[in-house]
Structure formats: C-alpha cells, structure tokens
Amino acid sequence: MITITPKRIFDVPIQATCINADVFTGKTLEEIKKLPITEGKENLILDEAFNISEDTAVETPNITLIGDFSKVKRIGQGMKTGEIIINGNVGMHTGEKLAGGKIIVNGNSDGWTGSEMKKGIIEIHGDAGDYTASPFRGTCTGMKGGLITVDGNVGSNVGCYLQGGTIKIKGSAGRFLGHRMTDGTIYVEKDCASRAGPFMTGGKIIITGAVELLMPTFTIDSIKPKVKVDANLTVQGPFYVFLGDIAERGTGKIFALKATNPALVSYEKYL
C-alpha cells in the first residue's frame, strides 16, 4: 500500500493523473516518487508536492490518500483495477473514465467525479459536486456502467448523458438531474430540485423525497407499488410514474414517491 499526504496547502490546482493503482503497479517507491504532475503551469514530480511512503505488508487498498486533496484533480483517471481510499476531500475529475476497481472518498468530492466511467465503484461518504457522473463540456457520451454511491447531497447537472450504470444518492439532488440521459438509473433518497430529466430519452430517475418542479414535458403514465433500483435493491412505493421527455419523443421514466409529493395529486385526474 502506498500512502500519500500533501506536503503543503496548495494554491493552484494540481493535475495528478498518475495517482492511479494501474500506474503504481510494478513500480518501486523511488519510481513512484518521480512520476510527473503539474501544479498550475509548473511541471513537478510527485515527491515535490507529496510525502509518499510504502507499507508492503498491506495489499488492499493499493493507495491511501490522507489530508486535503481538494485542489488535486484527476486522481484515479482511467483506472482499470485496484483500490484507492481518500481520507479527506478530493478535487475535480476523480475517477474520470474509470474502467474498473474501486475509489472510496471519506469526505467530499468535487465536480465531474466518475465522469464518463465505464465500470467499477465510486463511494463518496460526503457530498458530491456539480456534474458528478457527467461528461466534460461538449462531450455527448456519459457514464456507461458501474456504480456511484453518495452519502450526502449532490450538486446540479448530475448524471448528464447517462448511458448505463447506477447512481445512488442518499441526500438530495440539484437541478437538471439526468439531463439528456438515455439509460441507467439515478436514485435520490431525499428531495430533488427543479427540472429533473430534461431531454431524457430513456432510463429511470427515482425520487423518494419531494420533487420541486416537474417539467411540463413529462406526462403521467401510471401508479406503481414499487420500483427496482438494481439487482440488490427494490424501493416500496406507491410511486407516480411520469414518461418523458416528450419534447424529445423520449421514454424515460421519473418515479416520484406518492407519500412525499402531495402536489402531484393533480396529475391523477389524467390517468
């Protein structure tokens, strides 16, 4: 196991694509210390910004990060195997394009966590920022598979262009949840801010808290007693099921819990 702690408080963002179990595998501690990173416009090596130590007795997790990493970007980018634990907050693009393995954040994560991921697990035991599980600006291919769990709240534009996989949020979600999603599942246990699922054409959004404002391009389809989130989890309802986004001729589904959404009663007359 490699343990990494910051040497100082960082002012400008650090790009640390090399903090990745795949990259560390087969390298000695000395080699790992010499891996390149950038701090702002400066080219550094890992050793110049971080204290790095190795504990050969422990195998998993492969990498443990301790301290404030909120200015450090792209940790675990494109990782295929292995496990990273971060005890502290972490910066943007953590686990971007993740293709396997596991990343656990015991703190908050910033924007674009799990962006465009294909496989693997990301567990965030704090809050997650805007654009979690969403592709970077301009990209039209989102998360394809895997699982993201967030114990806290998430920001806006979470799960944009979602094409597969599951996002479970124990807290509440910001605006534009599941923007342009085509498949996959987003489960929000608390409230969801306005305009969930704009332009969605497939997949499902499950909200067991209050829905702030439902887009007018969603129509009520039915009332279902329960809904399946994934193989291990089924949530008891009853739920209002909305179909949309009609503006895109979509067949995405928003499940809103009946008990927490008295304002949606008015839709029942259209059933």
Is the distance from CB of 183 to CB of 191 less than 8 angstroms?
A: no
Q: How far is the CB of 228 from another protein (least distance, A)?
A: 26
185's enclosing H/E stretch is strand 185-188
Q: Is the dihedral of CA 208, 211, 215, 220 positive or negative?
A: positive
**C-alpha span between 163 and 136 (Å, rounded):** 15
Q: How far is the CB of 137 from another protein (least distance, A)?
A: 5
Kindly calculate the radius of gyration of the chain based on its CA atoms and give it in whole angstroms.
Answer: 20
List Cβ neighbours of 239 (8 Å cut-off, separation of 6 or more): 206, 223, 224, 225, 226, 227, 255, 256, 257, 258
Q: How far is the CB of 199 from another protein (least distance, A)?
A: 8
Q: Binding to another protein by residue 217, rule CB under 8 A?
A: no
Contact pattern from residue 131 through residue 150 relative to another protein, giving x for each residue in contact according to CB under 8 A and a dash for the rest: ----xxxxxx----------
Site for another protein (CB under 8 A): which residue of 51, 87, 149, 201?
201
Site for another protein (CB under 8 A): which residue of 144, 179, 180, 204?
180
212 vs 248, beta carbon nearer another protein:
248
Q: Binding to another protein by residue 73, rule CB under 8 A?
A: no
Q: How far is the CB of 215 from another protein (least distance, A)?
A: 17
Tell me how far CA of residue 52 lies from CA of 13, 29, 89, in angstroms: 19, 8, 18
Cα-flanking dihedrals φ and ψ of residue 266, to 5°? -60, -25
Q: How far is the CB of 153 from another protein (least distance, A)?
A: 28
Q: Binding to another protein by residue 248, rule CB under 8 A?
A: yes
Closest CA to 256 of 125, 248, 266: 266
Q: Which amino acid is at 229?
A: V
Q: Binding to another protein by residue 230, rule CB under 8 A?
A: no
Q: Binding to another protein by residue 213, rule CB under 8 A?
A: no
Q: How far is the CB of 244 from another protein (least distance, A)?
A: 15
Q: Binding to another protein by residue 25, rule CB under 8 A?
A: no
* Segment contacting another protein by CB under 8 A, of 50-58, 129-137, 189-197, 227-235: 129-137
**C-alpha span between 6 and 17 (Å, rounded):** 16
Residues that bind another protein (CB under 8 A): 135-140, 180, 182, 201, 248
